[in-house]
Chain A
């Protein structure tokens, strides 16, 4: 992915027993844009072209078990723990707008609901891990992996690739975002692939379609 070539700086945040890498892709003033990567990815090395028009600084977080963040021992990933990862970035950055890819889009939705007063718009984009697992309980396998030294953590790939995402759970977060953000349309969806949880979210008041990340961000740049 090509983008601007400003040098990236990285700060380590502490979330319980984990250190999280928060990268500044572009310095500046005003409300930061927070990028949340997809499952198995890491933060981009440079600010992507798609967000070039964003007027403020751009930050990107590596989730637990990804990129420059801690590789936990023995797994135990949930989307809710990654929500708290993203909240650690929010605590550091203050009010943000979010662009999430895949898994990061789902986490962005959770954060938009959980911290509605601090998230000024969330853009849900395609990317790995967008679908999650089933929306009903299944007889899922119990598994273990040998430890690896290089991210991403195989437990992250396996556990976050199958986490339960019932549509009514996801819509609750969309409603919290609408109720608490003060924005008319706090959630913008540019993803073309729409798993059941996202189809339900799109039907919620306050959730709108957008043609591109740039178009969606233009709504929140003010």
Chain B
């Protein structure tokens, strides 16, 4: 159940501009805070999140002079639901957003969770787009259950495969479960147990739409937490070592289900030269939502103010 501890809606500001771009036939929704002519700064959200989860975080960068731009990944928020979803497709959509916002100029980028991991791969593939990269608890490091036998791992994969395929058989025409704002907030609270009820209720009003039978999250119902595939979390770490751009990695003290459980010792061997790595005390995976003032202040100190 959600608690009423953190975060609050202090500092919340809705985007100054919201619109869609055409990313190869797919509509990708952009949300901007700050002066439209200011230097751009890009924010990448995590899996199952959406750009409006930055409503208390993004304005703090706009207030010091950035044009802050975030986008909803395909299938998330106000972006189109796609036929297919993949990490590569998300990177392609991101490239369309970067092209639209900054052309091929380098810009500072902040990514949280999956958004942070995606930006690590993007910065490795297209470093010319990045002036700097801040990663908030988005550095995958290891298999979630590293100490099981190979036989047991195979058996577990078999179970995951069956569950996933059964899910795929049911997704055609499926819809997110409807409910009241309170019910959707409570459901999301199970994945975000450190979020306040007030914040969760707010997220419903911007991340869900109201239908005749109740509110439904905008997220494509075919999306599912977890999964399987050949990709290995530790591969993200290997890319860090080659970074030539300023890099600031933030890890959190309190582990949560939505995080990767990455420790500083996992990351330090792969930190790029002049990279900065810090642990944020007393916060969980959504540090930027729990403590937007403190986290943004650290990042602004790292980035500097726009010229």
Residues of A at the B interface (CB closer than 8 Å) are 14-18, 64, 70, 72-81, 83-84, 87-88, 91, 113-116, 136-137, 139-145, 147, 159, 163-166, 169, 172, 175-176, 179-180
Bound Cα distance from A201 to B254, whole angstroms = 41
Task: Please tell me which one of the listed residues A83, A84, A145, A164 contacts residue B24 in the complex, with CB atoms under 8 A apart.
Answer: A145
Question: Which stretch from B43-51, B108-116, B167-175, B244-252 is at the chain A interface?
Answer: B167-175
Main secondary structure of the interface of A (DSSP, over half): loop
The answer to whether A142 touches B125 (Cβ under 8 A) is: yes
Q: Are A140 and B125 in contact (CB under 8 A)?
A: yes
B161 touches A72 (CB 8 A): no
Chain B residue nearest in CB terms to A85: B168
Interchain CB contact under 8 A, A64 and B230: no
Q: Which residue of B lies closest to A78 (CB)?
A: B86
- Does B21 make an interface contact (CB < 8 A)? no
Question: Across the interface, which residues of A come within 8 angstroms of B72, CB to CB?
Answer: none
Q: Does B225 lie at the interface of the complex (its beta carbon under 8 Å from any beta carbon of A)? A: no
Whether A73 contacts B83 in the complex (CB less than 8 A), given A16-B172, A139-B125, comes out as yes
Q: Are A88 and B92 in contact (CB under 8 A)?
A: no
* Chain B residues whose CB sits within 8 angstroms of the CB of A91 once the complex forms: 169
B interface residues (Cβ-Cβ under 8 A, vs A): 23-26, 74, 81-86, 88-89, 91-96, 122, 124-126, 153-154, 157-158, 161-162, 164-165, 168-169, 171-173, 222, 227-232, 235, 238-239
Contact B93 A74 (CB under 8 A): yes
Name which residue of chain B comes closest to A80, CB basis.
Answer: B229
Contacts of B153 in A (CB 8 A): 172
Contact A159 B83 (CB under 8 A): no
Chain A contacts for B171, CB-based, 8 A: 16
Q: How far is the CA of A158 from the CA of B154 in the complex (A)?
A: 29
Give min CB distance, A163 to chain B, whole Å.
7
Contacts of B84 in A (CB 8 A): 17-18, 64, 72, 74-78, 81
In Å, the complex CA distance between A194 and B289 comes to 50
| Contacts known (A142-B91, A164-B231); A76 close to B165, Cβ less than 8 A | no
**Nearest opposing residue in chain A for B174, CB measure:** A16
Partner of B168, one of A78, A87, A137: A87
- Distance A110 CA – B243 CA, assembled complex (angstroms): 35
On whether the beta carbons of A17 and B83 are closer than 8 Å, the reply is yes
A75–B222 contact, CB under 8 A?
no
Closest 7 CB pairs of A and B: A76-B84, A72-B83, A76-B89, A114-B161, A84-B168, A137-B235, A73-B25
Chain A residues lying within 8 Å of B232, measured Cβ to Cβ, are 166
Given A88-B169, A137-B235, verify A76-B125 contact (CB < 8 Å): no
Distance in angstroms between the alpha carbons of A124 and B222 in the assembled complex:
30
* New A-B contacts (4) at CB < 8 Å, excluding given A16-B222, A76-B83, A143-B92: A17-B82, A75-B92, A78-B229, A137-B235
Contacts of B89 in A (CB 8 A): 74-76
